[in-house]
Amino acid sequence: MEPAPRRRTLVLVAHPDLPASRVTAHLAEAAGALEDTTVHDLAAAYPDGRISVTDEQRLLVEHDRIVWLFPWHWYSVPSALKAWMDQVLVYGFAYGAGGTALHGKELQLVTSTGGPESSYAPDGHNGFTMGELLAPIAATANLTGMRLAEPLVLFGARTASDEELGLHAERCLALLAA
């Protein structure tokens, strides 16, 4: 029997200032060592912010699992990732008539927050759970035919010890290598 084809993973990195990042930069660098994995930093690819839609769509088509690696900014994705969504996930490609390019792919979110996990609760500082706040992304995955995997979140990133960050990176790599 033929061995199953290996799953190709695209890690889309969206951070407005990666050199100043602790968490995202660490994970992006670690993911670069994985097989069958393309790490694609949006800020490095498009320093002027002008996204090549055809290049981005080609990358999506070439991979089976799409990872969004980003810091949690204002209860959402950073603006560069939102711009990427607006421009790349268009009618006829990602949804609508003929828009089946992403069907069956997996969408994996890897993010980190400043707030501790306890703050993401109805009675917590932020008033909503992470699952509630991620509803627009769940709806996006739904519309585009992607399976949204359980998000990997490092809560309290700013105060996380090096050891906690290391454990989180191990979890992330294990997930991506699976």
Among 108, 113, 140, 144, binds ligand FMN (CB under 6 A): 113
Q: Work out whether 160 is an interface residue with ligand FMN (CB under 6 A).
A: no
Q: Work out whether 72 is an interface residue with ligand FMN (CB under 6 A).
A: yes
Site for ligand FMN in 117-156 (CB under 6 A): none
Radius of gyration of the chain (CA): 16
Interatomic CA distance for residues 107 and 90, integer angstroms: 17
Q: Work out whether 165 is an interface residue with ligand FMN (CB under 6 A).
A: no
Q: How far is CA 114 from the centre of its chain?
A: 17
Distance of closest approach, residue 59 Cβ to ligand FMN, in angstroms = 22
Beta bridge partners of 126: none
Quick one: which segment of 47-55, 71-79, 91-99, 170-178 binds ligand FMN (CB under 6 A)? 71-79
Collapse the DSSP code of 134 into the 3-class scheme (helix H, G, I; strand E, B; otherwise coil) and give the result. Answer: coil
Quick one: which segment of 69-77, 84-92, 94-102, 139-147 binds ligand FMN (CB under 6 A)? 69-77
Quick one: which segment of 14-22, 40-48, 143-151, 170-178 binds ligand FMN (CB under 6 A)? 14-22
Distance of closest approach, residue 141 Cβ to ligand FMN, in angstroms = 21
In b/e form, how buried is each residue of 9-44, taking b as 16+ CB within 10 angstroms? bbbbbbbeebeebebbbbbbebbeeeeebbbbbbbe
Q: Do residues 18 and 43 lie in contact, with contact meaning Cβ atoms separated by under 8 Å?
A: yes
Site for ligand FMN in 19-58 (CB under 6 A): 21-24
